[in-house]
Amino acid sequence: MARMTRRGFLGALAAAQAQTRARPNIVLILTDDQGWWDIAAHGNRFVRTPHMDRLAAEGVSFERFYVCPVCAPTRAELMTGRYYLRTGVYNTRFGGDTLDARETTLPQVLQRAGYRTGIFGKWHLGRYAAQHPIHRGFDETLIFTQGHTERYFYPDQLEHNRKPIAARGYVTDVLTDAAIQFVKQSGGRPFFLYLPYNAPHSPNYVPSRYTERYMKMGVPIGDAEIYGMVERVDENIGRLLEVLDKEGLRGNTIVLFLSDNGGVSRHYRAHLRGAKASVFEGGVRAPLFVRWPGRLRPGTKVEPMVKVFDIFPTLCDLLGIPLPEGLALDGKSVRALLETGLGSSPHPFLCHYWDRFRPGKTQGWSICEPRFKLVGEQLFDLANDPSEKSDVSRQYPEDKRRLRARFDAWFDDVTQGKTFEPPAIEVGRHDENPVDLEPSWARLNGTHTTWASPGDEETTPASPLPGRHAPSTVNYTFAGYEWDSIDSWRTPGETVHWNIDVVRAGRYEVTLSYGCDPADAGGRFRIRAGSASIETVVHPTAGRALFEKHVCGVLRLAKGPAKLEVAALEVKGKELMALNRIWLRSLS
């Protein structure tokens, strides 16, 4: 091989830098629980979305763009270009919302190509350090990691580059402010800005002037709040677009707008059947607008079916960035559809799936082609019945059988070799010490479950958690992530455990956060991992829903996989405690 001269090296380096500078910026905006119908451009005459409508008018809009029925699966497909069941994600909670560390992500590919990358909003693809977006291709992160945040005003679940922060204001504004600063500090280097808002996901909080305006239009209060949250997002999109204009970046920036699953509002649903968590069209069809001034024809409408995992290869194709060698994607580039609006779908069929606890073939699935769609035992002719009102399986039995066979083969393929269990929680990392063990990641040994939940379609369970197989009263109560608990321990011998992976052997201080009514105090429990154990007494707090921290002792942990178990030994009152958190802190 000929040796490159210094002049040749500098010339090649300058050429590579020039190519990087010439590449367009990318702004990818994702909303949460905004339905196809929650936008004026799609016929909703109630909601105000002038800036979303502007993106549709100035860019390309997709008429049959599909996402997943719920949020974490869509985010997995967006980031990886693959069906979510391949990626380690199979749930929105219980650790099943964790992207496999071996997956290659879109920001990693862009980062390697010279892009400055940032995420501002909801990650929801990994709770712990190993899966943090800063390790998945993002240079700058202002995020919350869970499925939603409880605080829209003065949000208290945000972190900036792995450090918890206190924020002032309304969360949609806070995220946009940070995104705008990211744009202004680009310094001429191309950037990838990922802005996954948490609105209009519940809880539905928005300044009252928005809600009142929609209620005066006859919109029920629940939907008035959702529309208000959507409008507030739209205003912030307008602020971001204005900055792109002022910074002279409009012509060299690709802006994409989409939502993550079907909507939850009810006042206007266009013609679509189903909603969030459903595999009917209303649960899996979402808006997608793509604007690139001077390159994409304004007002173009794309009719063929496209899915969220197509965004990864399409962006790489538009940017001239080769995909990593050997990377197997389900997504296909739809560049030709973007540039001309003409052509057919790159997919002979697309599958939609959602079953929270144990993926299977019995329920929660559909498969669609350009014309037909099979939802369980029902066949619909989408070309003539886009509202999925009439089952035509008797008229077209061969199509039903053909689609069912295709689904079965697809399911076997995407689930091959998968166990659908969350990864073990790494303990003893230098960048996450102490580590907290969340109640939702625990495995309980009973089958009886009483949930405290907001009641939406995504968080209400359909079946017991995996691993529960002996009668017990111990229970997991969902109350918004930070306030979840494991409670109703009434019988000695009841246990919960977490699967952990100790990356550093040594001594670990164990701290519990729990609540206990004074009348119930004095019970005993054991904490054990391998051959190490601690036995201690439950102290009273001001009430079972008022959690206090208690240092319980020190465990000596060996390196490697382990099971950290908490077992009730003696219950003094009506329950042992309401356990909110466990922290393990390496003393090494």
Helix ranges (DSSP H) in 247-348 = 281-284, 311-319, 335-340
The reply to whether 429 falls in a domain is yes
pLDDT, tens digit, for every residue of 510-530?
999 999 999 999 999 999 999
| Cβ-contact 118, 141 below 8 angstroms | yes
| Confidence at residue 9, expressed as pLDDT on a 0 to 100 scale | 40
Q: Which residues contact 444 (CB under 8 A, 6 or more apart)?
A: 465, 467, 468, 472, 474, 475, 476, 486, 495, 496
The reply to whether 4 falls in a domain is no
pLDDT, tens digit, for every residue of 429-455?
999 999 999 999 999 983 333 333 433
Q: Which of 440, 426, 482, 431 is nearest to 134 (CA)?
A: 431
Q: Could you tell me the CATH number of the domain that includes residue 504?
A: 2.60.120.260
Task: Say if residue 290 is in the same domain as residue 359.
Answer: no
Q: Which of 521, 584, 578 is nearest to 552 (CA)?
A: 584
| Cβ-contact 421, 167 below 8 angstroms | no
Instruction: State the CB neighbour count (10 A cutoff) for residue 102.
Output: 7
Q: Could you tell me the CATH number of the domain that includes residue 364?
A: 3.30.1120
Q: How many domains does the chain have?
A: 3
Task: Say if residue 472 is in the same domain as residue 508.
Answer: yes
Task: Say if residue 383 is in the same domain as residue 271.
Answer: no
Cis peptide bond upstream of 466, omega within 30: no
What domain range is 55 assigned to? 15-347
- What is residue 45's DSSP assignment? S
Q: Which residues contact 284 (CB under 8 A, 6 or more apart)?
A: 66, 67, 68, 69, 261, 262, 274, 278, 352, 366
Task: Say if residue 295 is in the same domain as residue 367.
Answer: no
353 residue type, one letter = Y
Query: Judging by beta carbons within 10 Å of its beta carbon (0-12, 13-18, 19+), is residue 188 exposed, middle or buried?
Result: exposed
Q: Which of 341, 314, 344 is nearest to 329 (CA)?
A: 314
Angle, CA of 327, 330 and 331, to the nearest 5°:
100
Q: Is the pTM of the predicted complex or chain greater than 0.85?
A: yes
Q: Could you tell me the CATH number of the domain that includes residue 56?
A: 3.40.720.10
| Cβ-contact 157, 142 below 8 angstroms | no
Helices 71-80/311-319 angle, 10° precision: 30
Among 289, 314, 347, the domain-final residue is 347
Task: Say if residue 467 is in the same domain as residue 343.
Answer: no
45 token code pair = 């005459």
The reply to whether 516 falls in a domain is yes
Task: Say if residue 77 is in the same domain as residue 115.
Answer: yes
The reply to whether 513 falls in a domain is yes
The reply to whether 21 falls in a domain is yes
d(C-alpha 100, C-alpha 125), whole Å: 9
| Confidence at residue 153, expressed as pLDDT on a 0 to 100 scale | 94
The reply to whether 101 falls in a domain is yes
| Cβ-contact 103, 131 below 8 angstroms | no
The reply to whether 5 falls in a domain is no
d(C-alpha 577, C-alpha 545), whole Å: 10
| Confidence at residue 5, expressed as pLDDT on a 0 to 100 scale | 53
Q: What is the pLDDT along the chain (588 residues), one digit of tens a residue?
A: 344 455 554 444 444 444 455 899 999 999 999 999 999 999 999 999 999 999 999 999 999 999 999 999 999 999 999 999 999 999 999 999 999 999 999 999 999 999 999 999 999 999 999 999 999 999 999 999 999 998 899 998 999 999 999 899 999 999 999 999 999 998 889 999 999 999 999 999 999 999 999 999 999 999 999 999 999 999 999 999 999 999 999 999 999 999 999 999 999 999 999 999 999 999 999 999 999 999 999 999 999 999 999 999 999 999 999 999 999 999 999 999 999 999 999 999 999 999 987 899 999 999 999 999 999 999 999 999 999 999 999 999 999 999 999 999 999 999 999 989 999 999 999 999 999 999 999 999 833 333 334 334 344 333 334 343 446 799 999 998 889 999 999 999 999 999 999 999 999 999 999 999 999 999 999 999 999 999 999 999 999 999 999 999 999 999 999 999 999 999 999 999 999 999 999 998
| Cβ-contact 109, 324 below 8 angstroms | yes
d(C-alpha 584, C-alpha 566), whole Å: 13
Instruction: State the CB neighbour count (10 A cutoff) for residue 408.
Output: 13
Task: Say if residue 386 is in the same domain as residue 324.
Answer: no
d(C-alpha 222, C-alpha 380), whole Å: 31
Task: Say if residue 339 is in the same domain as residue 358.
Answer: no
Among 415, 445, 463, the domain-final residue is 415
Residue 45: φ, ψ to 5°: -85, 0
Task: Say if residue 359 is in the same domain as residue 221.
Answer: no
How would you write 140-186 as a 3-class SS string?
EEEEECCCCCCCCECCCCCEECCEECCCCCEHHHHHHHHHHHHHHCC
Among 373, 397, 415, the domain-final residue is 415
Q: Which of 231, 308, 275, 259 is nearest to 31 (CA)?
A: 259
| Confidence at residue 471, expressed as pLDDT on a 0 to 100 scale | 60
| Confidence at residue 1, expressed as pLDDT on a 0 to 100 scale | 37
The reply to whether 213 falls in a domain is yes
Task: Say if residue 64 is in the same domain as residue 211.
Answer: yes
Task: Say if residue 531 is in the same domain as residue 409.
Answer: no
Distances (CA, A) of 151 to 131, 172, 227, 229, 352: 24, 11, 18, 13, 31
| Confidence at residue 3, expressed as pLDDT on a 0 to 100 scale | 47
Task: Say if residue 468 is in the same domain as residue 445.
Answer: yes
